[in-house]
Amino acid sequence: MRLEAFRVQNYKKVADTGWITCRDLTAFVGKNEAGKSAIFRGLSKLNPSDGEKYDGLKEFPRRRYTEEFELQDWPVASGRFEIDNEEFSTLATICDALKDTKKVTITRRYSWSTDVEFSPKPSLPEITHQTLVDAVQNVKKAIQGLTAPEGKGDVLGSIKISIIQEFDNLINALTDQPLDGPLAKAQVDQAVNTIMTKANEDWQKTLLSPQTESFMKIAEQLAVIKALKKAEEWVVQNLPKFVYFDRYDILDSAIHIPTFLDELKDQRKGPRHRVTLCLFKHVGLDLQNMLQLGNYDRNRPFQELVRRSLDELAIKANSASINMTNRFQDWWEQRRHRFRYDFQGQYFRAWVSDDLDPSEIELDQRSLGLQYFFSFYLVFLVESEGAHKNCILLLDEPGMHLHGTAQAKVIEFLNKLAQNNQTLYTTHSPFMVDGDHLERARAVYEKEDGTTGISEDIWPRDKDSLFPLQAALGYQLAQSLFISKRQLLVEGITDYWLIKTVAEVLPSRSLPTLRSDITLVPAAGVTKLLPLASMLIGHDIEIGALLDGDEPARKEGNKLVKKLLSGEDRRCLFIGDFLDGRIAAEIEDVFPEDFYLAAVKEAYQINKPAFTKEEQALNNGIVDKLTVFFNRKGLGRFEKWRVAAVLRDWMLQKPDSVPEDIYKTMSKIFEATNAIFGGTEPEEKPC
């Protein structure tokens, strides 16, 4: 099962996150105390690898505990899972009513009970005591109207009296209980037996057997309900484990093996024991066996058996050292390090040297960042291939002690982990946000009432939560700013989103797209266009501009052409020039009005906007119309980035739902843009 979305409610400072979609690798970004850890710990207990259950006293929102906790069994964590073909086959075998199932939602409550809901939901009747009472009443009437064969009237009459009396007793027993209560199969069997125990001869069976059909149908429905319950139990039993990590303790460079074994035996395990156990598993050593290999009488003369034992100890440690050295250098690029594991009597030692200094230094004397990453890497190297295989990893602030460039390597590491283990992680560092994949980011922020919120729109109002995302994007842009020799300036981030998205989708539509060697650079507004262009031209970068068609953009675009582009107006393009009769059009006007308004409806969760005649008569673009509409309706400020995020997702996730004219128009714009830089993309020359 793959986690498609989750929801956390009623947990610490989390009132309700709503449904949050997640990918194979998803980053939850926010400031300290925003509630990131609470979300992860609450979610982890949907099916925790450590077996820790909810503690309402400690985990239910404190401000609500006295008045609300005892009122109901509150839901906490929910997960919506996609099922694979093998799981689908198993569920359909358990319960035929689930043959169309594609997804399943599981909710865990404070009592530790679970709710399971299949999608699409199977159509099942509600079978209660009342169901059987109604069926018995109908069968009573049918039996009273039966006619006996010639000469059998007295016998049938006696049978009728007996059956009706037993039916009345059954009805009384059922009505003594809540009529909307669940029906037991034993009660249905009693109704069937009431009839069939009286059918001993063939003529009796011929008359009475058909009267059990309605009861048999109820029994069949109960069997389906029972099978559904069994399927629900199977889902809960086979739910992926959630592995929550919030401590990344550092490995000791000197481990006294007898003490370590005693602590494990006495259940005195802590976070460092976890790292140490992973180390020995990676080395492939049995500690008890290693102790025996290392123990010998030092007063006795040379013994071949002792020498062989010491050789075995050294060879295994050396082999593991080489393995870690080779694997670690692919991840840690600060320097090239060499690890050496060594057994010295009852002690295990870890030494490190590097390419700049061959001196071997104890692991715990190296930088905190190196120690952290080594321990972090070791744990996941071992556990993701063992006990946590196919589990969902929830990593709270990984890479916190590392330098920015090393944190970027952690993202690469997590990308590999996510190939086998769906991985969610929290961070407040911009270097732990992949600027190339901002669609993976979910912003965690503190609402005005102090509870935790999660934004899938990426750009929340909370500036502190927004900063890592802004910084990640800024860092990505800064890295590429002077590297790419062909750069296209656009006005802002929404233009960047939409243009970049369409450029990615067009090849699948068999339409010309933007050359891949052209880098998009948002100018953060047309007023910053000239300074940015001047800086780029000063570094011998070939530039062009794609701007809106409104008056401010045309004014600044003309300045750009005259002052910096030597009058080459072909290097500055305006969206309005590609839309017939709408020279003031902006990037948003490429989208048909009705389609764009549908995106506004989804972005703001409001009814689809309907313009007045005055608003519709405005000659400006759709953004200006919506600005006036929002003011009239008291909806606050219209923010086009919200709608751009929806349009971006629609184009990426369901491109066929987007009007084809949008793709064709943008393709024409891209062809004109490519012409600025010499036309279609040149073929790569063979090396």
Tell me how far apart the alpha carbons of residues 67 and 57 are, in angstroms, rounded to a whole number: 13
Tell me how far apart the alpha carbons of residues 566 and 562 are, in angstroms, rounded to a whole number: 6
Lowest mean pLDDT among 3-12, 173-182, 233-242: 173-182
DSSP helix/strand/coil, 634: coil
Binned at pLDDT 50, 70 and 90, residue 302 comes out as: low
Look up residue 228 and give its amino acid.
L
Mean pLDDT value across residues 521-538: 83
End-to-end CA distance of the chain: 45
Mean pLDDT value across residues 249-275: 72
3-state secondary structure 15-42: EECCCEECCCEEEEECCCCCCHHHHHHH
Q: What is the pLDDT of residues 131-152, one digit of tens each?
A: 888 888 898 888 888 888 888 8
The residues, any chain, with a CB within 8 Å of residue 608's CB and separated by 6 or more, are: 597, 598, 600, 601
pLDDT recorded at residue 686: 45
CA separation (Å) from 314 to 284, 289, 321, 349, 353? 13, 13, 10, 12, 18
DSSP helix/strand/coil, 582: coil
Ranges of H-type helices in 610-657: 613-616, 622-633, 640-653
3-state secondary structure 436-481: HHHHHEEEEEECCCCCEEEECCCCCCCHHHHHHHHHHHHHHHHHHH
pLDDT recorded at residue 293: 53
Most distant CA pair in the chain, distance: 118
Examine the pLDDT at 194 and tell me if it is beyond 80.
Answer: yes
Tell me how far apart the alpha carbons of residues 240 and 47 are, in angstroms, rounded to a whole number: 7
Tell me how far apart the alpha carbons of residues 103 and 120 are, in angstroms, rounded to a whole number: 7
Which residues partner with 108 through β-bridges? 77, 114
Tell me how far apart the alpha carbons of residues 531 and 560 are, in angstroms, rounded to a whole number: 10
Q: Which residue has the tokens 């909307």?
A: 180
Tell me how far apart the alpha carbons of residues 633 and 568 are, in angstroms, rounded to a whole number: 45
Write down how long the chain is. Answer: 687
Examine the pLDDT at 319 and tell me if it is beyond 90.
Answer: no
Mean pLDDT value across residues 461-470: 67
- What φ, ψ does residue 623 adopt, rounded to 5°? -65, -45
Q: Which residue has the tokens 């058996």?
A: 305
Q: What is the pLDDT of residues 473-516, one digit of tens each?
A: 666 656 656 667 888 999 988 899 999 999 999 999 899 999 98
Per the CB < 8 A criterion, the answer to whether 382 and 281 are in contact is yes
3-state secondary structure 351-370: EEEECCCCCCEEHHHCCHHH
pTM of the model: 0.61
Q: What is the pLDDT of residues 67-84, one digit of tens each?
A: 999 999 999 999 999 998
Which residues partner with 6 through β-bridges? 20, 79
Q: Which residue has the tokens 């009705």?
A: 594
pLDDT recorded at residue 465: 65
Q: Which residue has the tokens 């592995």?
A: 243
Fill in the DSSP letter of residue 574: E
Binned at pLDDT 50, 70 and 90, residue 682 comes out as: low
Lowest mean pLDDT among 278-282, 297-301, 393-397, 593-597: 297-301
Q: What is the pLDDT of residues 1-50, one digit of tens each?
A: 899 999 999 999 999 999 999 999 999 988 888 889 999 999 999 998 87
The residues, any chain, with a CB within 8 Å of residue 282's CB and separated by 6 or more, are: 320, 323, 324, 378, 381, 382
Which residues partner with 392 through β-bridges? 242
Mean pLDDT value across residues 332-361: 81
Average pLDDT, the chain: 84
pLDDT recorded at residue 687: 38
If you compute the radius of gyration of the chain from its CA atoms, what whole number of angstroms results? Answer: 35
Lowest mean pLDDT among 233-237, 302-306, 307-311, 390-394: 302-306
> Which sign does the torsion angle of CA 169, 175, 177, 179 carry?
positive
Nearest to 524 by CA among 581, 454, 474: 474
Report percent pLDDT > 90 for the chain: 29
Examine the pLDDT at 341 and tell me if it is beyond 70.
Answer: yes
pLDDT recorded at residue 288: 67
Q: What is the DSSP string of 647-659?
A: HHHHHHH-GGGS-
Per the CB < 8 A criterion, the answer to whether 573 and 547 are in contact is yes
Fill in the DSSP letter of residue 48: B
Tell me how far apart the alpha carbons of residues 3 and 195 are, in angstroms, rounded to a whole number: 51
Which residues partner with 362 through β-bridges? 351
Q: Which residue has the higher pLDDT, 269 or 402?
A: 402
Q: Which residues of 448-466 are buried (b: 16+ CB within 10 A; e: fewer)?
A: eeebbbbbbebbbebeebb
Binned at pLDDT 50, 70 and 90, residue 685 comes out as: very low
- What φ, ψ does residue 557 adopt, rounded to 5°? -65, -40
pLDDT recorded at residue 50: 77
Examine the pLDDT at 236 and tell me if it is beyond 90.
Answer: yes
Binned at pLDDT 50, 70 and 90, residue 349 comes out as: confident
pLDDT recorded at residue 384: 59
